[in-house]
């Protein structure tokens, strides 16, 4: 039985210096998937070596893909082509990763063999019907456990038909799963999204030489093509940078530079929201790496104010809301979020768990069905249960910068799924954080 990890964070301090956070998780997952399915050898640099991405890599190794690494963010993949995967001998374990499970379902729907996708306790509670049902309409056969949850049993040898799917809710994972299944389908597969979501799959498919047509809110691929190996340079993850962007914004005297951060316009909602709150964030040396825009971000302390978060920014910051709630708690006035019901089906119910944690620190937080209302104020010290959710654990660690007493965050083991080395990097930046093993 593995031991539990808690964080003990002393109050106060400021963040300073230059940091490079680990590689982008979304792009790392996709680089492994497309590199494995391409013809030829793909070289990846900057790969996030977190547990989620290693689960994805392990799944492809179990299906016969040879790879060297990862070491220091470098990975070499010897692609087997779209139809070169071998039947796995056992269920494919996606660990804690909803991204991996949903995207893999799209890929596996087009294979000539049966497969089973499993995950950890948290992932096993997450809804998969929004992927399995539209894939079913394409001709896939996917059996789920009760309530549309994992494990997922994907039947091979099905003839997939292209279709035009209008998504009821904005989700990059669902869009990506359908486009990846579309590589194996007859004719054209199109997905129309109700609001913009991250477009890493579309960009990377093009990087691997596969044509993706984009017309307004609709993305289309035609089956029958092939992926050609290429080099992928993974930028630093803006979702990981977000903890330090908020920390430096709320802790007086802070000035921090975050290097080589991905600033894909479908991911910069966190920058837009923080700036609307009054944050002082500057983009330095904007450039391109592997088809993705990157820049160094300089952030200085600023007095934040509460805002009503524009609904159009919600899908562009969906993973960053836990730490944005900390910014709201440290701001003056009221912050209102609506249209974010997807937060209730992440690694935890992030609205409920964050509201509960903020209240235990003395912050006024009121849940709504699709969001939260937070009144900024003083934060006391206290003990927080992260419910095994990596982003909640890191968010409350950052909250200690403006708390009146120490904050203990329980159950932080899953931080390694998305941000290996978080505690060490946070300490280097100026957070007084101790890791305790139970």
Domain end (from 233, 268, 302): 233
For residue 185, give the CATH number of its domain.
3.65.10.10
The pLDDT of residue 416 is 87
2: buried, middle or exposed (CB in 10 Å: 19+, 13-18, 0-12)?
exposed
Distances (CA, A) of 204 to 33, 39, 96: 10, 15, 23
Residue 20 CB partners (closer than 8 Å, separation 6+): 236, 258, 259, 260
Residue 294, H or E segment: strand 292-300
Q: Within this chain, do residues 288 and 329 fall inside the same structural domain, yes or no?
A: yes
* 321 neighbors 348 (Cβ within 8 angstroms): no
**Count of residues for the chain?**
438
Q: Within this chain, do residues 311 and 171 fall inside the same structural domain, yes or no?
A: no
Q: Within this chain, do residues 241 and 180 fall inside the same structural domain, yes or no?
A: no
Q: Within this chain, do residues 86 and 203 fall inside the same structural domain, yes or no?
A: yes
Chain centroid, CA 259 distance in Å? 19
Q: Within this chain, do residues 278 and 371 fall inside the same structural domain, yes or no?
A: yes
Q: Within this chain, do residues 221 and 255 fall inside the same structural domain, yes or no?
A: no
DSSP assignment of 238-265: HHHHHHHHHHHHHSTT-EEEEEEEE--T
* 260 neighbors 59 (Cβ within 8 angstroms): no
CA distance 141 to 166: 20
CA distance 260 to 199: 19
CA distance 366 to 436: 31
Chain centroid, CA 215 distance in Å? 25
Q: Within this chain, do residues 194 and 225 fall inside the same structural domain, yes or no?
A: yes
The pLDDT of residue 353 is 98
The catalytic position among 52, 319, 385, 416 is 319
Domain end (from 189, 208, 233): 233
The label of the residue with tokens 């009146």 reads 404
Domain end (from 206, 233, 260): 233
Q: Within this chain, do residues 288 and 278 fall inside the same structural domain, yes or no?
A: yes
CA distance 17 to 40: 41
Residue 344 CB partners (closer than 8 Å, separation 6+): 350, 351, 352
- Which residue intervals of 282-334 are DSSP H helices? 321-330
Domains: count for the chain = 2
The pLDDT of residue 2 is 58
What is the rounded end-to-end Cα distance, in angstroms, of the chain?
11
CA angle, residues 422, 426, 427, in degrees to nearest 5: 120
Residue 223 CB partners (closer than 8 Å, separation 6+): 160, 162, 182, 183, 184, 185, 186, 187, 188, 189
Would you write out the chain's pLDDT as a tens digit for each of its 438 residues? 458 999 999 999 999 999 999 999 999 999 999 999 999 999 999 999 999 999 999 999 999 999 999 999 999 999 999 999 999 999 999 999 999 999 999 999 999 999 999 999 989 999 999 999 999 999 999 999 999 999 999 999 999 999 999 999 989 999 999 999 999 999 999 999 999 999 999 999 999 999 999 999 999 999 999 999 999 999 999 999 999 999 999 999 999 999 999 999 999 999 999 999 999 999 999 998 878 999 999 999 999 999 999 999 999 999 999 999 999 999 999 999 999 999 998 989 999 999 999 999 999 999 999 999 999 999 999 999 999 999 999 999 999 999 999 999 999 999 988 899 999 999 999 999 999 998
> Catalytic annotation on 319?
yes
C-alpha count within 13 angstroms, C-beta hemisphere, residue 48:
32
The pLDDT of residue 1 is 43
Q: Within this chain, do residues 218 and 242 fall inside the same structural domain, yes or no?
A: no
CA angle, residues 192, 107, 341, in degrees to nearest 5: 45
The pLDDT of residue 360 is 98
Q: Within this chain, do residues 33 and 50 fall inside the same structural domain, yes or no?
A: yes
DSSP assignment of 78-147: EEE-TT-----SS-EE-TT-HHHHHHHHHHHTTSSS-EEEE--TTGGGS--HHHHHHHHHTT-EEEEEGG
CA distance 87 to 115: 7
User: What range defines the domain where residue 274 resides?
Assistant: 5-19+235-437
The pLDDT of residue 331 is 98
Q: Within this chain, do residues 260 and 281 fall inside the same structural domain, yes or no?
A: yes
Q: Within this chain, do residues 261 and 147 fall inside the same structural domain, yes or no?
A: no
Smallest Cα–Cα separation from 241: which of 357, 391, 401?
A: 391
Smallest Cα–Cα separation from 302: which of 254, 244, 363?
A: 254
């Amino acid at each position: 039985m593995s031991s539990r990890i808690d964080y003990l964070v002393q109050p106060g301090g400021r963040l300073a210096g230059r940091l490079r956070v680990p590689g982008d998780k979304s792009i790392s997952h996709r680089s492994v998937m497309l590199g494995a399915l391409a013809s030829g050898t793909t070289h990846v640099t900057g790969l996030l070596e977190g547990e989620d991405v290693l689960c994805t890599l392990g799944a492809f190794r179990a299906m016969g893909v040879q790879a060297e690494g990862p070491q220091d963010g470098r990975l070499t993949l010897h692609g087997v082509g779209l139809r070169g995967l071998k039947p796995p001998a056992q269920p494919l374990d996606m660990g804690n990763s909803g991204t991996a499970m949903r995207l893999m379902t799209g890929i596996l729907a087009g294979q000539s063999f049966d497969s089973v996708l499993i995950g950890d306790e948290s992932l096993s509670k997450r809804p998969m019907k929004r992927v399995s049902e539209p894939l079913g309409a394409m001709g896939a056969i996917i059996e789920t456990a009760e309530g549309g949850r994992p494990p997922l049993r994907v039947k091979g040898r099905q003839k997939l038909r292209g279709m035009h799917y209008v998504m009821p809710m904005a989700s990059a994972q669902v869009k990506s799963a359908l486009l990846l299944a579309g590589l194996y389908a007859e004719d054209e597969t199109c997905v129309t999204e109700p609001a913009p979501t991250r477009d890493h799959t579309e960009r990377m498919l093009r990087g691997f030489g596969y044509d993706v047509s984009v017309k307004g809110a609709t993305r289309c691929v035609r089956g029958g093509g092939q992926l050609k190996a290429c080099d992928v340079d993974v930028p630093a993850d803006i979702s990981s940078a977000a903890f330090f962007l908020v920390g430096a914004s709320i802790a007086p005297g802070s000035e921090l530079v975050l290097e080589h951060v991905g600033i894909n316009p479908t991911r910069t909602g966190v920058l837009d929201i923080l700036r609307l709150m009054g944050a002082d964030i500057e983009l330095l040396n904007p450039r391109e790496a592997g088809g993705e825009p990157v820049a160094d971000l300089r952030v200085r302390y600023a007095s934040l104010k509460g805002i009503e978060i524009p609904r159009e920014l919600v899908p562009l910051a969906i993973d960053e809301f836990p730490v944005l709630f900390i910014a709201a708690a440290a701001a003056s006035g009221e912050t209102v979020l609506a249209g974010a019901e997807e937060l209730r089906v992440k690694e935890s119910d992030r609205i409920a768990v964050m509201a509960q944690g903020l209240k235990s620190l003395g912050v006024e937080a009121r849940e709504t069905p699709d969001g939260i209302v937070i009144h900024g104020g003083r934060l006391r010290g206290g003990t927080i249960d992260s419910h095994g959710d990596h982003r909640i654990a890191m968010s409350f660690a950052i909250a200690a910068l403006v708390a009146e007493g120490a904050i203990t965050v329980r159950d932080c083991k899953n931080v390694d799924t998305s941000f290996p080395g978080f505690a060490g990097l946070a300490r280097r930046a100026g957070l007084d954080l101790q890791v305790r093993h139970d």
